[in-house]
Structure 1
């Protein structure tokens, strides 16, 4: 597999982005550091980290060929010849002993077996597909087991073996996975970036090689609810600042989920408007004052 080039603000971010693009775990990633990157001084002279990455190739072990001794080969050939000689007279004997038909006598007609009634093929028809976003009983159980196993494997690779993983299908039909343990701040990461990356990979596992779509949500220590409340309060404070200063304010870069929270929080405020600018992963929300005509 050829290498792909990935760049990000830090080396850890570049490695995480490579894991997301290739859809692999850290133990299956082969990468080379091209540029470690630097923060610069007050943002001046900042260099992004650059790596080349690819999926590790699996090496197949070749089974050693078993050498057969010459003596065994000759014995096998002699055995085959003896068996062939035994089979010939047996066939001739069967020909001699086969009963001859008597002249003038008709053979009794053979009774044909009764034909079985054709089997109805109703059970072969496919069951109706579930709506998108809703996990069925059979498939949902398989999705839950696969996702929980993937999360546990990742946590094991991170030396977080004491984490308890539980899952439930919520009222929206999404598969909600919660993780409980010590030192979960490492799993959350800066502004939830590590948790979001693991959530993205788990969604890929849940929806790999199957029809429909299953939404997976990962959470720990009630981080999602606390982060939502923080963003809603931030949106209200920014709106007040824009009204006072009558100047446009740009927020820090956020992922699509967090940007939607900001838009939704200020949607009912007629004095300000919101829109997004920039490209991922540096796309941000801009809050503007609505001027009276």
Structure 2
């Protein structure tokens, strides 16, 4: 992600050095633009001007996420976090329930009372409906927040689609394919950080929700690749009857591999090694 800062000092070298020290970069890692040269003025007394420089650089992904966290917390704390305030949301639900209860009381004055069993069913339906509305509301909040994060990362032509299945919020962001790797990051770290930000804001744990964010179907393609890799290893083991080691994988990828291997009656699997060099071993079951 491209970033730039502007610094002023008595000389351009001082301004450049101050900027490099601040961003912890060397001259070879940045682009330097002299906006204004220093001037000593007439006889060194009149018309003195400081130098102004602009330093542009590629920001590290980890630093970008840290800055993004600050932007989200500072710029969106009131506009977003308050909207995601579970307490406020609960109060809103409570008020809606009270309103419905008042309407129910007025209605009961003009009609016969229902049986206790029917009343309990009605109350259960109201609770279920309110809980559904809450989940739907949080789904749209998560969707809007993902769009905001990607825009803050300076991506364009962003389209976020998704759905709410049971208690899982699934979002897939469509961006320029050439930017996919930037959003995902090495080993998916940047994408994981984005998920962490949104989980924290919508408070998935307290709301009993799960969040799954994908970028240009990256996760889907990764899952398919892992399953295909495990499937090919299974066929080799069935043919040679000798163990076969898969590549290093994270816990999620290993689980996918174990599930695929488990579909073969004559094969078994286990994991070996220490994180992050832990891998799946495909074994042939002894008859």
> What TM-score do you get using the length of structure 2 for normalisation?
0.50
Q: Which has the higher helix share?
A: 2
What's the offset of the Cα at 1:179?
0.9
SS at match of 1:167: strand
What's the offset of the Cα at 1:197?
3.8
Q: Where does residue 249 of structure 2 map in the other structure?
A: 254
Q: Where does residue 204 of structure 1 map in the other structure?
A: 200
SS at match of 1:217: strand
The equivalent position to 1:140 in structure 2, one of 135, 141, 165, is: 135
Q: Where does residue 229 of structure 2 map in the other structure?
A: 234
What's the offset of the Cα at 1:281?
4.2
Which segment drifts farther, 248-257 or 259-268? 248-257
SS at match of 2:155: coil
What's the offset of the Cα at 1:231?
1.6
1:166 to 2:161 alignment: yes
- Structure 1 pair 148/243, CA: closer, same or farther in 2 (3 Å)? same
> What TM-score do you get using the length of structure 1 for normalisation?
0.49
Q: Where does residue 174 of structure 2 map in the other structure?
A: 180
Q: Matched residues in 2 for 1:135 and 1:240: separation? A: 50
Q: Matched residues in 1 for 2:154 and 2:254: separation? A: 33
Give the root-mean-square deviation of aligned CA atoms: 4.0
- Could you tell me which runs of 5 or more consecutive residues in structure 2 were left unpaired when the two chains were aligned: 1-58, 75-97, 103-122
What's the offset of the Cα at 1:251?
2.1
Q: Where does residue 280 of structure 2 map in the other structure?
A: 285
* Counterparts of residues 106-125 of structure 1 (less than 5 Å): 123=101
SS at match of 2:248: coil
Q: Matched residues in 2 for 1:245 and 1:12: separation? A: 46
Contact 1:184-1:220 at 8 Å conserved across structures: no
What's the offset of the Cα at 1:222?
2.6
What's the offset of the Cα at 1:177?
1.0
Contact 2:230-2:246 at 8 Å conserved across structures: no
What's the offset of the Cα at 1:245?
4.3
Contact 1:253-1:283 at 8 Å conserved across structures: yes
* Counterparts of residues 1-293 of structure 1 (less than 5 Å): 15=62, 26-28=68-70, 123=101, 136-170=131-165, 172-182=166-176, 183-186=178-181, 187-190=183-186, 192-207=188-203, 211-292=206-287
What's the offset of the Cα at 1:216?
1.2
Contact 2:233-2:244 at 8 Å conserved across structures: yes
Q: Matched residues in 1 for 2:225 and 2:253: separation? A: 10
Q: Matched residues in 2 for 1:173 and 1:26: separation? A: 27
